[in-house]
Structure formats: C-alpha cells, structure tokens
Amino acid sequence: MIKRCFSSAGLLVAPLMLALAGCMPGVPTGRMEMTPVGFDYFSGWDHEDHTGLFSMMKLECQRIAHLPEGTSLGGASTLPYGRQMEDWKNVCTAVSTVQGSNAKEARQFFENWFQPYLIDKQAFYTGYYDPEVPASLTQGGDYQIPVYGRPKDLLRGRNAQGELEYGHWVNAVFRPYDDRATIDGGSLKGKGLELAWLKSSVDLLFLQTQGSGRLRLPDGQQIFLGYDGRNGQPYVPIGRVLVQRKLMKSEDVDAQSIRDWLASHPEQAQSVLEANPSYVFFRRTQRTASEGPTGAFGLPLTPQRSLAVDKRFVGYGMPVWVDISGQDKDGRFVTWSRMVFAQDTGSDIRGAGRGDLFLGWGDKAAKIAGDMKNYGRMMVLVPLPASRATGFQPPGTVIGAIPAEAGQTAK
C-alpha cells in the first residue's frame, strides 16, 4: 500500500479542464457515526507519555501554521470541528503557553482542548515500516533491478470525485501509465530515471509496498528514498494473487511468508509480481538514520506514534487513541493502547476506523508490521473552539467513561 502523498503540485484531470491541485485540499469527506467519550475511557491514559505527546502536538501546530490559508485537513462531515486549519488556531495558540516538560500540565492541555469521540465501527489496524535493502548506485554483478524515479510525463491530479489519479496523456486521452509488466520489460530503460540498482525484484516490491526505504550501499553508506508517485494502475495485493492461484492458503499469508514463497519459486515469481500492475516511483530524500520518512501531512513519521488514515474520515493532524485487544494470527493475546497522530495516508487504507501504524525501521519493526492485523477501537480527539478551563462545554459531551458494550469489541 502507498503511504505517502507528494509535495509537488499535480494536474487536475477533468473533462476539458486543467488546474493545479495540491496535496491537502479537495479530498471528499464521508459520514462517520461517533459517540462522545471521556478521557477515562482510554485504557492506559494515566500512564501515557504526556510530555512526549505534547512535543508532537507542538510540531503539528508548526506544520498547520505553514499551510496555505483555507486548507482543509480532511475528516468526516459529521465531525463537529477540526476539519479546517482555522479550527486549530486557539488550540495551537494555547500550545505556546504550556510547559512541555510538566507532565501534569501537558496532560491537562489535552483534556482541556480536545473532545474524544469513539468511532462507532470496529476498527482494523495493520502496520508498516521503513525497509532497508542492499543496493548499488551502478548496475553490475548482482545489482540488476532498477529503482526508478518519477517519469517527467507522469501527471498527478484529481478525478471528478476529488480522488487522486495518476497517468499521462495518450492521444488527448488521460490514461494510466505503463503497468508493471511493461516497465519490467524495459519501457523506461535509457531515460535516465535509475536512482539505484537492487539485487532482487522482491526487495523492490517491499520498497514499493511500504512507500519509502533505506538503501544500504556496498561501502556501508545509506541513502534514503521517498515516495514520488505511482503509475495509476490498480493495486493488487500479492498475497491475494497467491491465494487465488492456490499457491498459498489465506491463513498463511503475511509479509514473511510472501517473501519466502517468492524467493523459493523464482520460476513463478515474476508472473506473480506482475499480476500487480501498480508501480511506485521514488526520489532521493535527505534525512538522518534516526529519522522516519516524511508522511502525507508533511512531518517525519515517528515510530509507534504516527498513523496512516483514510483522510475522508480522520483529518491530518488529529490525535487518535488506538485501543487493540484480542488475539493475533498465532493465537497470542495482544493489547496495544496509546495515542498516535494522523500523519499519513495509504491507497489500501479505506474507511472509518481503518488505521495503519508506522512502526519504524529495522528487522523488529518489519516483523511487527508483518504480523499486525488486529481489530479494536479507535477514538479521535477533536479540537475544541475554546478550552474547558474557561468553562466551555461542548454540547452532548459525555464526561465520564461509557460502558464497554457501547463500542465495538475486538475479535
């Protein structure tokens, strides 16, 4: 799945019309049923790192302050507040008056300035990470698989429904760009788009699936890649292909089993890979080894604190309380409760209550991300127009906890 939007403007695709379209505005919103809850409904809120959360809130306010006036942050039409950057003005002004090192004051800031809402739909969480793969800046030896930068004639815009589309003009008709099989066959060869060379098409697949990555060069140096567009072809999960072809059972499908199968069946691997026509392009980015990639909201992603969401339902920048309680695919009991921030999006992240947790980088993050497929609850924290400390009381607010049966429980 694609985790990131792009920083450059694109072309709006509509009959007889071309217009500039940015990353933030224009995304259609959906309806989402919600129930107001109190902070004591959060399992583990008393033990959270409130000062760390407050520091992230400061960075978010700095990001919001630099957005063009009138920018929409997204979110469901049923959200009472927080969908426009102007809705955050008072909250972000208050940020500058709070001592971030004071845990009690940091906690009180969130309780004074936000109203939590439980999404009245069972949430479903997956995970993603920043992969590291061996690479070379020159072709040769084992390094024969190109990582391509974005073609100059690949355009990005929005369709009549306001959703992002990618493609190019073919005889005055806007069509998707070359599919994976065509690109693998050499359609981009010789255009100077090669950013690096990999040893394996499987490594390329996982880079493209995660939407960013780290390339480890033979001399030990690292370079970083960021998402820079896709070809506009439909995304078909490789796990689904393997199940449909009766090559794997659905209950056995996870990131590691897919990698193992492709590695052990080289004669069939290319056919399986090319059953997914979607193709992702990259760009070189500047960051340190201790920084995450930049998300769609324009901030570096923080391990276990950044969440990819469907922007039609949860707007960028919103704090989100994640509550997972249930069994994983191996029958082990899983609990995961903490506050994260909606800072990213993804082509496979669709619907209310759908979240994809950024888990960092390295083998441990890859393992956790590959295993994470859990149900639970999702609470969004909606900014208030005035602080409760001033006596402001949102209409219909439930101050205390609500019974667990009022929300969906984990499967």
Could you report the per-residue pLDDT of 158-186, keeping only the tens digit for each?
A: 777 777 789 999 998 999 999 999 999 99
Residue 1 has pLDDT above 60, yes or no: no
pLDDT tens sequence across 186-231: 999 999 999 999 999 999 999 999 989 999 999 999 999 999 999 9
- Which pLDDT tens digit goes with each residue over 87-112? 999 999 999 888 767 899 999 999 99
**Reported pTM:** 0.82
Q: What is the pLDDT of residue 5?
A: 33
Quick one: pLDDT at residue 96?
87
Mean pLDDT of 341-346: 94
Q: Which of 59-68, 251-260, 286-295, 395-404 has the lowest mean pLDDT?
A: 395-404
Q: What is the homologous superfamily of the domain 131-285 according to CATH? A: Barwin-like endoglucanases (2.40.240.50)
For residue 402, pLDDT over 70 is answered with no
Look at the block and give the residue holding tokens 């224009």: 26
pLDDT bin (cut points 50, 70, 90) of residue 410 is very low
Q: pLDDT class for 408, splitting at 50, 70, 90?
A: very low
